[in-house]
Structure 1
């Protein structure tokens, strides 16, 4: 994305605060005018340093310091770190990483060679729209996505320091790093010029990590690096067990501090589900990974029925599913809106809103709040929040290097259910209509159990609780419904055919804790 020229100012201008999006009562955007410098970055993405050949495909880093937001409150954090530049309507609700002062995040982003343009927040997470893509902060994890020639991996040591200083953890719960094959790899900084160099760097930080290349080596393909899940070393097992016990009882589960499970689990840890409609199925057990799967034992204070794995949306914990749609060969007619003077002659957030409306992007998640930018001379970026989920869009429209990406983990009841193949089909078709790509890559990461762990609950007690709360149907009917929902945790994601596109590559990876579905499409008309 090209840097907004009006933001290339030095000095101490105060941030301009306003609201944006379809649901401005629930989120707030802050446009920061004092975050950028008058010098062009080495990315060649600022208005004054634009080179005409931009690397759209992003580097994507996701680091978890705990299994869920609640756990981040129990990992040695003694006090909130909120500061004046963090004060807004959500200040009292922030916890974990969300309490890290924004000045610390800005300094970390300098290592990557990108700056913050604006922020969008709600009760669940904070998002930062960057000069090169996006940054999302939850209490327990962060997602950093950067394009161009940014040096994303150089930020990892600093991020680990921030986790240690603010949460008291030494290490990560789990880590994901991924990217599509680059268009101009020789223009990257040395670390990012090859996947082998990136893997060597990551291996030095995470010796138990594992690297994969997915797709055809002589066509579009995708790289991914995984580490964990495992408990950060500073967590005390007794404290963790007590915390899990409390959560378990609150969700009709049980635990004691011994961490031993007294009962039988209906799904074996090493059970391999049957692949669904795939050309290639790969089992990749991360042998040797220091994985820790919390388990619960029975206590007299909770039910003693047989247990089954708990699906996250039944327990109230968000399902861990992320969908990426990566597109190249974009339709020039669709791309007119992505140039200054197309959908709008105003750069910045006002121009971004015009692009959202003209392209139909605003209709993908109509209940969301969004923060977008139209860049000079061209380019578009968007961060959107809906509930505890985010989505992000980035577009490079130039014909010789056209690229667009769409990423989402929004899976609440008002939006698409990302575990439903038909819902993913609708999402892909809606996104591709906005950009008209010739080539499309879709990836779905889905946890095999809630939060990747094997939390156990009492199915009969769950059905009784749901029946009591809903006052509908019979316990037997609810048990069947609950069992069908819970079964989704052991079934890999699948794709329905996408209208107007032919599938040319399909791969299913089965990891210890996640499914990864990869598909590549080419336009048929």
Structure 2
């Protein structure tokens, strides 16, 4: 009874000290139907949630707001443990370390119920934890996370679906839980997520204050982060004695970067969501990101909310791509509820290796799935690990 799948060895211990900082983020992306006009005449939606309620939600997830910026389309918050983005009908929360991200869900749903907002789609993703044994409830294992998510979203549409993507024995795997009703009608939204480990020492050294770079803007410029998406507005933040976070916003699109530069556990993540695939070239963007951090190993996920509508509008985001100097050693593709599609690839430095594979395409020629394990969900509502 419950959920069973390979590649998940995490267990909740609560008292075990972490041997290092967990860089791999937990990411929750929730979309809502617009509220009735009489309930929200100005169309503020989620942006109407008071700051005190946001603080309470984040406290439940064990993080706080450290910086904030907004434009006409969204509100962006840099957190003590990653990022929060709030659109009128969408919220993206990303946290790292031993945060309890999913514990924010009950408070979020209480707030949205008062605003007459109903969930239309939810997607939870994360990579394989480096230190799974120190993750607290409900993140002790993917089994536990799926059970928790099902309590709140299992009745949405045809119910929740969960998958573990990636190749057996290759770190990391990509964990996805998703649920959606059948009323989602919007233009396709593309999301790129990159998880990079074993960063080049010189590249990682930029994010230590001992390097002489004290401020966020100094680190942003030194790492060429301001050139990745040059038209975006950046809000950056540095930590003591090392570490860096950045949010970028550009119209209705956002990006975010988080860096843990310590030797032996160096990690950087990059995310971009909402960009027009004809205006932002995916290969060029990935090359710029990789050039800034020079990881020995990295994983990349590309997701689109509506694969059918994206068929003729995906540009380079729908095609297969492998960055220069790397080989693809794992690739999988999965169709998700309501027509969304995700591809997940792992890459390593070429170093003379000739045994490279071809990453599966998101849209074009990508109708074969491999390397994905479906998580079995049955009779789990109300259960706790």
TM-score interval, smaller chain: 0.7 to 0.9
Distance in 1 (alpha carbons) for counterparts of 2:184 and 2:72: 29
1:202 aligns with 2:164: no
SS in 1 for 2:318: coil
1:104 CA drift (Å):
1.1
1:517 CA drift (Å):
1.2
Q: Do the aligned partners of 2:190 and 2:304 also contact (CA within 8 Å) in 1?
A: yes
> Which residue of the partner structure matches residue 515 of structure 1?
341
Q: Alpha carbons of 1:227 and 1:509: their partners in 2 closer, same or farther (altered >3 Å)?
A: same
Which of 49, 58, 69 is residue 25 of structure 2 equivalent to? 58
> Which residue of the partner structure matches residue 176 of structure 2?
224
- The correspondence of residues 238-277 of structure 1 with structure 2, limited to 5 A, is none
Instruction: State TM-score, norm by structure 1.
Output: 0.60
1:218 CA drift (Å):
2.4
1:182 aligns with 2:129: yes
Which of 89, 95, 102 is residue 153 of structure 1 equivalent to? 102
Q: Do the aligned partners of 2:333 and 2:342 also contact (CA within 8 Å) in 1?
A: yes
Distance in 2 (alpha carbons) for counterparts of 1:75 and 1:179: 35
- The correspondence of residues 446-461 of structure 1 with structure 2, limited to 5 A, is 446-448=304-306
Distance in 1 (alpha carbons) for counterparts of 2:55 and 2:314: 37
1:43 CA drift (Å):
12
SS in 1 for 2:69: strand
1:142 aligns with 2:91: yes
Instruction: State TM-score, norm by structure 2.
Output: 0.80
Distance in 1 (alpha carbons) for counterparts of 2:197 and 2:315: 33
Higher mean displacement: 364-373 or 406-415: 406-415
Distance in 2 (alpha carbons) for counterparts of 1:338 and 1:503: 28
Mark the structure with the bigger radius of gyration.
1
Over aligned residues, Cα RMSD in angstroms?
2.6
Q: Alpha carbons of 1:320 and 1:387: their partners in 2 closer, same or farther (altered >3 Å)?
A: same
Q: Alpha carbons of 1:293 and 1:381: their partners in 2 closer, same or farther (altered >3 Å)?
A: closer
1:205 CA drift (Å):
1.8
Post-superposition CA distance 1:181-201 (Å, at most 9, x none): 000011111321211111111
1:325 aligns with 2:210: no
1:215 aligns with 2:166: yes
- The correspondence of residues 85-164 of structure 1 with structure 2, limited to 5 A, is 95-164=44-113
1:206 CA drift (Å):
2.0
Which of 117, 120, 124 is residue 173 of structure 1 equivalent to? 120
Q: Do the aligned partners of 1:136 and 1:142 also contact (CA within 8 Å) in 2?
A: yes
1:73 CA drift (Å):
4.8
Post-superposition CA distance 1:422-480 (Å, at most 9, x none): x222111110111110111111111225xx8x7xxxxxxxxxxxxxxxxxxxxxxxxxx
Q: Alpha carbons of 1:59 and 1:415: their partners in 2 closer, same or farther (altered >3 Å)?
A: same
> Which residue of the partner structure matches residue 207 of structure 2?
338
1:412 CA drift (Å):
4.0
Kindly indicate whether structure 1 or structure 2 has the higher relative contact order, using CA contacts under 8 Å at least 6 residues apart. Answer: 2
Q: Alpha carbons of 1:327 and 1:491: their partners in 2 closer, same or farther (altered >3 Å)?
A: closer
Post-superposition CA distance 1:319-369 (Å, at most 9, x none): 41100111011111111111112251x3xxxx1110010011111111111
Distance in 1 (alpha carbons) for counterparts of 2:318 and 2:276: 17
1:488 aligns with 2:313: yes
Unmatched tracts of structure 2, length 5 or more: 1-13, 352-385
Q: Do the aligned partners of 1:210 and 1:225 also contact (CA within 8 Å) in 2?
A: yes
Q: Alpha carbons of 1:338 and 1:154: their partners in 2 closer, same or farther (altered >3 Å)?
A: same
1:413 CA drift (Å):
8.2
Q: Do the aligned partners of 1:64 and 1:173 also contact (CA within 8 Å) in 2?
A: yes
Distance in 1 (alpha carbons) for counterparts of 2:314 and 2:207: 39
Higher mean displacement: 358-367 or 197-206: 197-206
> Which residue of the partner structure matches residue 524 of structure 1?
350
Q: Alpha carbons of 1:490 and 1:206: their partners in 2 closer, same or farther (altered >3 Å)?
A: farther
Q: Alpha carbons of 1:132 and 1:43: their partners in 2 closer, same or farther (altered >3 Å)?
A: farther
Q: Alpha carbons of 1:146 and 1:293: their partners in 2 closer, same or farther (altered >3 Å)?
A: closer
SS in 2 for 1:148: coil
Distance in 1 (alpha carbons) for counterparts of 2:18 and 2:241: 11
Q: Alpha carbons of 1:361 and 1:156: their partners in 2 closer, same or farther (altered >3 Å)?
A: same
1:506 aligns with 2:364: no
Q: Do the aligned partners of 2:248 and 2:256 also contact (CA within 8 Å) in 1?
A: yes
1:515 CA drift (Å):
1.3
Post-superposition CA distance 1:253-307 (Å, at most 9, x none): xxxxxxxxxxxxxxxxxxxxxxxxxxxxxxxxxxxxxx2466xxxxxxxxxxxxx
SS in 2 for 1:327: strand
Q: Do the aligned partners of 1:322 and 1:408 also contact (CA within 8 Å) in 2?
A: yes
Distance in 1 (alpha carbons) for counterparts of 2:254 and 2:41: 27
